[in-house]
Homo-oligomer: A and B are copies of this chain.
Amino acid sequence: MVGYAFMGAAHSQAWRTAGRFFDLPLAPDMAVLCGRDAAAAQAAATKLGWRSVETDWKQLLTRDDVQLVDICTPGNTHAEIAIAALDAGKHVLCEKPLANTVGEARAMVAAAERARARGVRSMVAFNYRRTPAVALAQRLVEQGRIGTVRHVRAVYLQDWIVDPEFPLVWRLQKDKAGSGALGDIGAHIVDMAQFVIGDRLAGVSALTETFIKERPIAGASSGLSASASEQRGAVTVDDAALFVGRFTGGALANFEATRFATGRKNALRLEVNGSAGSLAFDFERMNELEFFDGADDPDTAGFRRILVTEPTHPYAGAWWPPGHGLGYEHTFTHEIADLVRDLGAGTDPSPSFADGLQVQLVLDAVSRSAEGGSSWQSIEEVA
């Protein structure tokens, strides 16, 4: 695993736990954690359960005890590491967004295709797909339970940088993060929506905004919190990104990602309205899915609050009895379980790098539209 901050901790918990609850064809061996600061990396490895440490990720590619590289670093490093790893015959799990630019993402897809021909697999880590409620939503749409999709409404609302004195962490720097709310959290709702309705965005018209233009240079950070220093620097990414758009099948899209929704901590919400029913989800209540079944008798029709903890629900049967909910980290555990099963079966994991590129193309269209006076931007289909 490369990187050991917020995402690294989440992935480590998933690697440690997946085999305890799911029957896996392979037993993960947490061989090596990689970080530039040897002491810090060693401390993290001990804490997180990795049995050795490297300070140069290139070393991972030479080790026989590494079959898979899990990339948990900022987006500007994804392409180089992933391509090298795939070319070295290592499976790759790469955090989202796949890359900081469409060009990088295309190169990564090409590398993934090359690798695939040799049985080397790749996956991009859109963990929210693995929320049981989201997977159930996808299943219900696929079963036709809501009919033809008319509307997809998605927001991802956070508030961790509302304070203008919050420091300029790497997530606020374009050279490291690629974009701001757009790529960090907007990417999640784009992927989730495309996954749930089984269609892709065809075009968008967008706005972005940076409310706070300058911030204190960051000191140490962990997770989404950080300390500040005296100097100031320019915020080079968006604080919020909004767009309207169309899916290829005719559904209308309304998307918004922001880090300025005071009081909303992690409100990833999706609502899908179809000709025969509707679905609604909010990650702040991640164990619930709301479902309106248009086939219900009007006298008793209403949005059903489904507790997605039944044995027949996606992933839920591996865990606790009904009503005993899961948490954020379980989305990663499910991701690892699915990945290891695919590796064992020799099948392609999903979402693929191509799926990651498809999301990247949407993000790129959003950026271009926002820079071009909200003009309409079509989105090509990844072959």
Contact = CB atoms under 8 A, between A and B. Distances in A.
Interface of A: 6, 10, 12-13, 16-17, 20, 47-49, 136, 140, 145-146, 150-151, 153, 155, 157-160, 162, 205-207, 209, 211, 223-225, 240, 242-246, 250, 252, 254, 256, 258, 260-267, 271, 273-278, 283-287, 289-294, 296, 298-307, 309-313, 319-330, 373-376
B206 A244 contact: yes
Given A299-B313, A304-B304, 17 more contacts: A6-B321, A16-B17, A20-B49, A153-B256, A157-B273, A162-B294, A205-B374, A243-B244, A252-B258, A260-B273, A262-B275, A263-B301, A263-B303, A264-B278, A266-B324, A267-B323, A319-B329
Quick one: copies of this chain in the complex? 4
A158 B244 contact: no
B12 A16 contact: no
15 contacts: A136-B299, A150-B260, A205-B207, A205-B244, A211-B250, A242-B254, A254-B256, A262-B275, A263-B302, A265-B323, A265-B324, A266-B321, A266-B323, A266-B324, A303-B304
A146 B262 contact: yes
B312 A298 contact: yes
B327 A326 contact: yes
A262 B278 CA distance: 6
Given A151-B261, A153-B256, A291 B300 contact: yes
B246 A274 contact: no
Given A150-B211, A262-B274, A374-B374, A325 B284 contact: yes
Contacts of A310: 298-299
B207 A246 contact: yes
Contact of A373 (B305, B312, B375): B375
A365 to B, nearest CB: 12
A137 B305 CA distance: 18
